[in-house]
Amino acid sequence: VLAAGSILYLDGVTVSFDGFRALNSLSLVLAPGELRTIVGPNGAGKTTMMDVITGKTRPDKGDVLFDQNIDLTRLDESAIATLGIGRKFQKPTVFEHLSVFENLELALKTNRSTLATLFFRLSGQQAEQIAATLQRVGLADKARQQAGSLSHGQKQWLEIGMLLMQDQRLLLLDEPVAGMTDAETEATAELILDLARDKTRSLVVVEHDMEFVRALGAKVTVLHEGSVLAEGSLDAVQANPKVVEVYLGR
């Protein structure tokens, strides 16, 4: 019943590694089109949570439902990706020897079956889709440049662009501004806010950079020892004594 209307619903999710609980009865509900920021100290379980959502790790216990009634715990990673759940890891993984445009083209092609890919040529509409994405991620003037020559921040944006080629309904971003300059961090906040404005996809952003978290202005979930410690606006969670203790009290 609680899953009604949600795009992502986690309840009582528990993951143990050799008896150690990386997730301990974790619950999280995400609305369609919602932008959510996840924070928490190292070892809080943020990566394990993403692994559970994408099918990389199977929980010992608990519900993981996508779009109200799709049980993600029964699906493997590729089946989950096909549902429209995309993940961006911390380190950018673009094809360095291809151009920026070709990276996006490849992302569009791998959306299709292998046989279709062999015979697939870009239609005018698809070329336009790539051009619009280049514009959106701020790489319109870099289309012909080799991806390997981009700055660290530009590679991150290209990778987000590659995910956008696949019509994701849920995007998981792991520390998207790690290693970025201040200017790149600001531009990334603008990009994520722009993506959230569409309301066609939900976004989960794991991040340590509190200025960036503030710029996103989204609801914040604080994880600690594998479960939710606090949830609310950044101001509210930062004022929460339990959160203060976890971040400052040791």
Asked if 176 is part of the footprint of ligand ADP (rule: CB under 6 A), the reply reads no
| Interatomic CA distance for residues 98 and 174, integer angstroms | 24
User: Total residues contacting ligand ADP (rule CB under 6 A)?
Assistant: 10
Strands 61-66 and 219-224: unpaired
Is the distance from CB of 209 to CB of 185 less than 8 angstroms? yes
Q: Which is nearer to ligand ADP, 45 or 138 (CB)?
A: 45
Instruction: Say if CB 227 and CB 59 are below 8 A apart.
Output: no
Among the listed residues 3, 7, 10, 22, the single contact to ligand ADP using CB under 6 A: 22
Distance CA 22, CA 140 (A): 41
| Minimum gap (Å) between residue 239 Cβ and ligand ADP | 22
| Binding residue (CB under 6 A) for ligand ADP from 8, 35, 44, 85 | 44
Q: Exactly one of 36, 46, 169, 201 binds ligand ADP (CB under 6 A); which one? A: 46
Rounded Cα gap, residues 107 and 99, in angstroms: 12
CB 84 within 8 A of CB 168: yes
Smallest distance, ligand ADP to C-beta of residue 16, A: 9
DSSP state of 110: T
Cβ closer to ligand ADP: 158 or 246? 246
221 touching ligand ADP, by CB under 6 A = no
Tokens 């289309």 map to which residue?
A: 143
Whole-number Å distance between alpha carbons of 118 and 148: 25
45 binds ligand ADP per the rule CB under 6 A: yes
Q: Which is nearer to ligand ADP, 40 or 86 (CB)?
A: 40
Q: Which is nearer to ligand ADP, 41 or 84 (CB)?
A: 41
What is the smallest separation between the CB atom of 199 and ligand ADP, expressed in angstroms?
28
Asked whether position 40 contacts ligand ADP by CB under 6 A, the answer is yes
Out of 47, 156, 185, 227, point to the residue binding ligand ADP (CB under 6 A): 47
With residue 46 as reference, give the H or E element that holds it: helix 46-53
Among 37, 48, 103, 156, which residue sits at the site for ligand ADP (rule: CB under 6 A)?
Answer: 48
> Which of these, 178, 179, 208, 173, lies nearest to 193 by C-alpha position?
173
Residues that bind ligand ADP (CB under 6 A): 17, 22, 40, 42-48
